[in-house]
Amino acid sequence: MSQVKTPCGESFALGKTVISGQCFRWSEENGRYSAIVSGKLLTAYTSNGTLYVYGTDDEDFVRDYFDLDRDYDAINDEIIALEPKLKESEAYARGMHILHQEPFEALISFIISQNNNIPRIRGIISRICEKYGEAIDGGSAFPTAKALASASPEDFAALGCGYRAPYICDAAHRVYDGRLDLEELKTMPINDARKALLEVLGIGPKVAECVLLYGLGRLEAFPVDVWIKRALSEVFGKDTPLLSSPYAGIAQQYIFEFIRTNYERH
DNA sequence: GCCCAGGTATAAA
DNA sequence: TTTATACATGGG
């Protein structure tokens, strides 16, 4: 069994990171977390500042995927200094990292996420993977753009996608035929990248930011006045000062973690 | 049954 | 440019 054992620091919170709502394929069992990532079934846990990942022997991939070489403690401190109100949410999210997910998976996942709840998002994505993804040992890979471009809106509707079905088709076709080059978006000027995403049917400002942040590694992309304000006002009330940090995207993830933890319905 | 979920397209003001 | 409404679906 291939395995990676790599230092991750004591503060890295694997569970918070993979269950935070920035990705939808990880699950927890007995303190270990599993998901199919980039076509491989990964099982991960942390112990004494070390991250263990079974299912791959590619340490560079693991460090990049979990963003282990970024100083999140320093970012935390910077964010709290900029907006002390976030200290409350920071307590729920200390140690959380922003994953480097596959762009196409993030694109489709966050289109599905709109006006939807996390359990149902996970279910839809799971069914799409089972039907259109390559079968691998332990499950199914996330489908390629080619595979999804071969499906019709009716096919996606049958999997419970609802009114988002044609949106998924449009996104898959754009990627497959090259009108939307996700790799290019990683380095393109941020406003051009955002504009390109907004051309996709069903992608508005919020989904665009999620794709930039979670699928394209664009942590600088976050225009706080678009919807951090919304998240902050939901938690702390109106007239909340805005952040201006280039790491506002990470702050945003903290806020979501706070909301998820405190407003989870039982 | 009713409400809502990490919004967006569309029409109207 | 800003504001209202419909949208598919299923968990709580």
Q: pLDDT per residue over A36-71, tens digit each?
A: 999 999 999 999 999 999 999 999 999 999 999 999
Q: Which residues 143 to 202 of A reach strand C, CB within 7 A?
A: 157, 160-163
Asked whether the predicted pLDDT for residue A265 surpasses 70, the reply is: no
Residue A224 tokens, joined: 């706080």
Mean pLDDT of the A154-175 span: 98
Q: What is the DSSP letter of A21?
A: S
How far apart, in whole angstroms, are the C-alpha atoms of residue A119 and residue A99?
20
**Cβ proximity of A129 and A36 under 8 Å:** yes
Residue A116 tokens, joined: 């939807």
pTM: 0.94
Give the bases of strand C that a protein CB approaches within 7 Å. Answer: 7-12
Asked whether the predicted pLDDT for residue A27 surpasses 90, the reply is: yes
pLDDT at residue number A266: 41
**Cβ proximity of A50 and A6 under 8 Å:** yes
Residue at minimum CA to C1' distance from nucleotide C6: A163
The distance (Å) linking the CA of A65 with the C1' of B11 is 43
Strand partners, A140: A135
**Cβ proximity of A10 and A49 under 8 Å:** yes
Q: Is the CB of A117 under 7 A from strand C?
A: yes
Q: Is the CB of A119 under 7 A from strand C?
A: yes
Q: Is the CB of A266 under 7 A from strand C?
A: yes
Q: Is the CB of A224 under 7 A from strand B?
A: no
Type of residue numbered A169: C
The distance (Å) linking the CA of A263 with the C1' of C12 is 13
CA atoms within 13 A on the CB side of A60: 0
